């Protein structure tokens, strides 16, 4: 057992099959307590270690210190043991990510960042690791504080053309599932549809309107004509314009005109005629 406040790199060993989990901490004693508490609750972030605990129980695990070190050296040394013990190999260990990534409550120095970068050169996560991380994050939601930090961090950033193209290809042809539609619908319930027009937003709209091409006289006249079209209700003999009929039927006026003009079989095309 370490004294309170000691930092370093540790491992959790399964005494039944010899598999190992490697980690680092600013406070080794607290980290051991945290692991045990999360495993008992069934909320540990590492699902492989959680499943092993569920099967074997904590009495068949051993928490031991690999190396005590300064806080600023923890990630480098953790990376060394992850690589040397090959703990991301499912037959050997429980670690999910091949890279030591604990923030340890601090920001890395430029020197440390360069060391980590060099140790990771040429290394790519396998599809299996990517899928494991994706599954581990399913259902997790960012806190309000986390969302605000992400928002602040992304301010002023612009996506590169390559990133935009990747996103475009990824979503092309995809349709939302019924579950997604229902989720979006629930998320919008109770939210106001009105927009708060800030001075900045008004300025953007104004600039956009100035740059928008003007409609031709022919188009303008067609829009005027669409309002003056007279439609006969053959059942009652009453005449309506498109706006009146749209309000009565609760159908957009353009849809009404298309159904009548192109003879689409419907109650509207059978009952109403343009005169």
DSSP collapsed to 3 states, 222-234: HHHHHHHCEEEEC
Q: Is 104 inside any structural domain?
A: yes
Residue 86 DSSP label = T
CA distances for 200 relative to 22, 86, 203, angstroms: 50, 54, 5
Distance (Å, whole) CA 243 – CA 252: 9
Q: Give residue 63's domain range.
A: 8-137
Nearest CA-CA partner of 23 in 108, 91, 123, 94: 94
- Which of 118, 137, 156 lies at the terminal end of a domain, its last residue? 137
125: left (phi over 0), alpha (psi -120 to 50) or beta: beta
Q: Is 120 inside any structural domain?
A: yes
Q: Are residues 122 and 23 in the same domain?
A: yes
Q: Are residues 33 and 127 in the same domain?
A: yes
- Phi and psi, residue 28, nearest 5°: -65, -40
Q: Is 132 inside any structural domain?
A: yes
Q: Are residues 126 and 14 in the same domain?
A: yes
Domain count, the chain: 2
**Helix 110-119 with 74-85: angle, nearest 10 deg:** 10
Q: Is 152 inside any structural domain?
A: no
Rg for the chain (alpha carbons), in Å?
32
Would you mind telling me the total number of residues written for the chain in this entry? 275
DSSP states of 208-253 as a string?
Answer: HHHHSPPPPHHHHHHHHHHHH-EEEETTT--EEEHHHHHHHHTS-H
Strands 61-68 and 230-233: unpaired
Distance (Å, whole) CA 24 – CA 75: 7
The answer to whether the CB of 218 falls within 8 A of the CB of 228 is no
Write out the H or E segment, with its range, that includes residue 20: strand 20-25
- Which of 105, 137, 169 lies at the terminal end of a domain, its last residue? 137
Nearest CA-CA partner of 226 in 245, 200, 248: 245
Q: Is 99 inside any structural domain?
A: yes
- Mean pLDDT by groups of 10 residues along the chain of 275 residues: 71 95 92 91 90 94 93 89 91 89 53 70 69 68 76 78 82 79 75 66 74 67 64 81 81 81 72 80
Q: Is 213 inside any structural domain?
A: no
The answer to whether the CB of 256 falls within 8 A of the CB of 242 is yes
Q: Is 22 inside any structural domain?
A: yes
For residue 109, the domain's CATH number is 3.40.1440.10
Nearest CA-CA partner of 90 in 141, 161, 189, 19: 19
pLDDT given at position 2: 41
H runs (alpha helix) in the chain? 28-41, 47-56, 74-85, 110-119, 127-137, 144-154, 161-171, 178-188, 199-211, 217-228, 242-249, 253-261, 267-271
- Which of 137, 172, 207 lies at the terminal end of a domain, its last residue? 137
In 10 A of CB 25, how many CB atoms? 24
Q: Is 148 inside any structural domain?
A: no
Q: Are residues 13 and 132 in the same domain?
A: yes
């Amino acid at each position: 057992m370490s004294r309170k406040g000691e930092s370093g790199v540790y491992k959790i060993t399964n005494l039944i099959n010899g598999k190992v989990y490697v980690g680092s901490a600013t406070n080794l004693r607290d980290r051991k307590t945290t692991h045990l508490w999360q495993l008992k609750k069934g909320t540990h972030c590492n699902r492989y270690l959680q499943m092993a605990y569920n099967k074997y129980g904590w009495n068949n695990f051993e928490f031991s210190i690999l190396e005590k070190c300064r806080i600023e050296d923890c990630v480098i040394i953790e990376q060394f043991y992850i690589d040397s013990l090959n703990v991301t190999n499912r037959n050997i260990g429980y670690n999910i990510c091949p890279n030591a990534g604990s923030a340890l409550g601090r920001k890395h120095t430029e020197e440390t960042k360069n060391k980590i970068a060099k140790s990771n050169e040429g290394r790519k996560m396998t599809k299996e690791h990517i899928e494991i991380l994706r599954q581990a994050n399913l259902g997790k939601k960012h806190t309000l504080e986390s969302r605000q930090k992400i928002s602040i961090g992304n301010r002023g950033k612009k996506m590169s053309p390559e990133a935009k193209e990747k996103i475009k290809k990824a979503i092309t042809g995809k349709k939302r599932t019924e579950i997604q539609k229902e989720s979006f619908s629930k998320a919008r319930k109770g939210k106001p549809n009105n927009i708060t027009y800030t001075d900045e937003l008004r300025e953007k709209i104004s600039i956009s309107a100035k740059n928008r091409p003007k409609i031709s006289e022919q188009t303008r006249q067609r829009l005027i004509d669409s309002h003056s079209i007279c439609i006969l209700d053959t059942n009652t003999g009453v005449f309506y314009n498109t706006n009146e009929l749209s309000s009565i039927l609760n159908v957009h006026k353009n849809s009404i005109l298309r159904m009548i003009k192109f003879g689409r079989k419907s109650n509207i095309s059978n009952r109403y005629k343009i005169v």
